């Protein structure tokens, strides 16, 4: 009896094993089939990669735009390569340059960067020329944003630094930088800008204070000789120091000053328009916070998209399709609604309602194009102003 059971168990085990083996074989076959078919359909697809970086809102923006684009263009696959702020935005440029020198494919198709990247790209011949024949929607782009791109980039969105103020307290909002400096002196301890080495809004305050004392075209000078002319601006900054929040405390990061404003510890700060608008919308800062641009304004500027010149025609064409798509009103509305950025195309192509939300910050910003001089400003600020 016992033996029979044992035999049966053995038999069934063998049977079971064979069955399993057979099953797994067929499973293998079918999965192989699936792999080949999907490969075939992938071969028709053109894969392009988009290299970008910055804050989280940039990533969220692309994560919304790319699927919508792929839906519309089934034959194109866009891969997003996102490098968070301060973690090697430079490396993408280095990669492009290295690939160009070695005459190799950089595998970067589209690169989102700043004005300085265009200057480098032009010197090294990294980017494909863009015009209305390959990017038809370029015709709708704001003309002033195209300045300085030399036909190598698409300015698809922008943001700028503005004044953010507590409207319950500040009744007469400064209109010009001079009025702002006067306000700071009249209201000691009620103004703060963040440590310029830690965020763009404080950096913009420092830069505009220095360059307001110089002729307008000085903002484009990249020669170090201009550093001697900064003295007047630094004198103002050092004079203002004792009128700042707690007689010269500069919080870290753009969020640091926004927190002070939200908590009512100060009444006016410089802030990024997109950051402030987004937080107002999400009610992270109270409603009584209002925004305003000065004349002449703080610095700001567009973000640009460049097309890397890889010599791969198929991918270049796909990338052009993508750039054109980014300039459509639908995507531009996403720029306004999700990123709280300035659209790249003229307002007339967009909803009027949207424009109203932007009225408060619609003044003109200026573009600082001093390249590496920005670092020098920060160094001097740390030595002279922070240690006061």
Partner 1 sequence: MSKRKENLLGIAMVMPSFISLLILVIWPVMISIKESFMNGEGQFSFENYIYVFTEPMMLNNIKHTVVVTLISCIIVLFISYFIAIYLRFTSSKIANFIRKTYFIPMFVPGIIAIYGFINTYRDNGWIARLIGQENLPVLMYDIKGVVMMNMWFNIPFTTMLLVSALSAIPDSVIESAKDVGATKLKIFWKFIFPLSYKTMLVATTFLFMGIVGSFTAPFLVDSNAPQMLGVSMQQHFSVYHEFGQASSIAVIMFIMSAGIGYLYIHSMMKEEK
Query: What are the residues whose beta carbons fall under 8 Å from the beta carbon of 341, sequence distance 6 or more?
Result: 157, 158, 159, 273, 274, 303, 335
56-64, 258-266, 327-335, 362-370 -> range binding partner 1 (CB under 8 A): 258-266
Among 24, 74, 222, 382, interactor with partner 1 by CB under 8 A? 382
Planar angle of CA 239, 243, 247, nearest 5 degrees = 105
Cis amide bond preceding 296, omega within 30: yes
Based on the shown chain and the rule CB under 8 A, indicate whether residue 187 belongs to the binding site for partner 1. Answer: no
Nearest-Å Rg of the Cα atoms of the chain is 28
Give the β-pairing of 76-84 and 46-54: parallel
Query: Please, what's the largest Cα pairwise distance for the chain?
Result: 107
Cross-strand pairs, 230: none
Single residue of 12, 182, 263, 288 touching partner 1 by CB under 8 A: 263
- How many residues bind to partner 1 according to rule CB under 8 A? 21
Helix-helix angle 253-262:200-211, to 10 degrees = 90
Residue 284 interacting with partner 1 (CB under 8 A):
no
Distance CA(96)–CA(124), nearest Å, equals 9
Q: Are strands 110-113 and 46-54 parallel, antiparallel or unpaired?
A: parallel
Write down the least CB distance from residue 236 to partner 1, Å: 18
CB 196, min distance to partner 1, A:
9
Which residues lie closer than 8 Å to 286 by C-beta, 6 or more apart? 262
Query: Phi, psi at residue 40, to the nearest 5°?
Result: -60, -45
Q: Does 173 bind partner 1 (CB under 8 A)?
A: no
Position among 26, 31, 86, 359 found at the interface with partner 1 (CB under 8 A) = 86
Site track for partner 1 across 15-54, x = CB under 8 A: ----------------------------------------
Q: How far is the CB of 357 from partner 1 (least distance, A)?
A: 30
Point out which span in 15-23, 29-37, 226-234, 260-268 binds partner 1 (CB under 8 A): 260-268
| Residue 197 lies near partner 1 (rule: CB under 8 A) | yes
Comparison of 195 and 274: residue with beta carbon closer to partner 1:
195
By the rule CB under 8 A, 383 interacts with partner 1:
yes
Site for partner 1 contains 288 (CB under 8 A): no
Residues of this chain that interact with partner 1 (CB under 8 A) are: 86, 195, 197-198, 246, 248-252, 263-265, 375, 378-379, 382-383, 386-388
């Amino acid at each position: 009896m016992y033996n029979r059971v044992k035999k049966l168990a053995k038999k069934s085990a063998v049977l079971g094993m064979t069955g399993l083996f057979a099953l797994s074989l067929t499973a293998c076959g079918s999965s192989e089939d699936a792999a080949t078919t999907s490969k075939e359909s992938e071969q028709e697809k053109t894969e392009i990669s988009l290299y970008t970086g910055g804050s989280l809102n940039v990533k969220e923006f692309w994560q919304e735009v790319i699927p919508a684009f792929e839906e519309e263009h089934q034959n194109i696959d866009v891969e997003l390569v996102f490098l968070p702020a301060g973690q090697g935005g430079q490396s993408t440029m280095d990669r492009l340059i290295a690939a160009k020198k070695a005459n190799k494919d950089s595998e970067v198709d589209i690169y989102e960067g700043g004005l300085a990247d265009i200057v480098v790209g032009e010197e090294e011949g990294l980017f494909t020329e863009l015009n209305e024949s390959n990017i038809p929607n370029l015709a709708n782009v704001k003309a002033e944003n195209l300045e300085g791109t030399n036909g190598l980039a698409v300015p698809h969105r922008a943001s700028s630094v503005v004044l953010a103020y507590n409207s319950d307290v500040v009744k007469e909002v400064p209109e010009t930088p001079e009025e702002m400096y006067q306000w700071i002196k009249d209201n000691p301890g009620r103004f703060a800008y963040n440590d310029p080495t830690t965020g763009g809004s404080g950096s913009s305050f420092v830069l505009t204070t220095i360059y307001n004392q110089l002729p307008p075209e000085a903002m484009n000078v990249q020669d170090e000789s201009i550093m001697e002319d900064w003295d007047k601006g630094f004198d103002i900054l050092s004079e203002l120091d004792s009128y700042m929040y707690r007689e010269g405390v500069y919080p870290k990061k753009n969020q640091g000053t926004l927190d002070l404003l939200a908590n009512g510890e100060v009444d006016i700060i410089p802030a990024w328009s997109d950051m402030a608008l987004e937080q107002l919308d999400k009610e992270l800062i109270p409603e009584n916070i209002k925004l305003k641009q000065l004349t002449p304004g703080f610095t700001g500027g567009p973000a640009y998209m460049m097309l890397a010149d890889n010599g791969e025609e198929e991918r270049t064409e796909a990338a052009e399709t993508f750039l054109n798509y980014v300039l459509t009103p639908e995507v531009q509305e996403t720029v306004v609604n999700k990123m709280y950025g300035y659209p790249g195309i003229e307002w007339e192509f967009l909803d009027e309602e949207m424009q109203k939300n932007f009225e408060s910050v619609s003044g003109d910003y200026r573009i600082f194009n001093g390249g590496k001089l920005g670092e020098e400003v920060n160094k001097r600020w740390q030595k002279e102003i922070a240690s006061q």
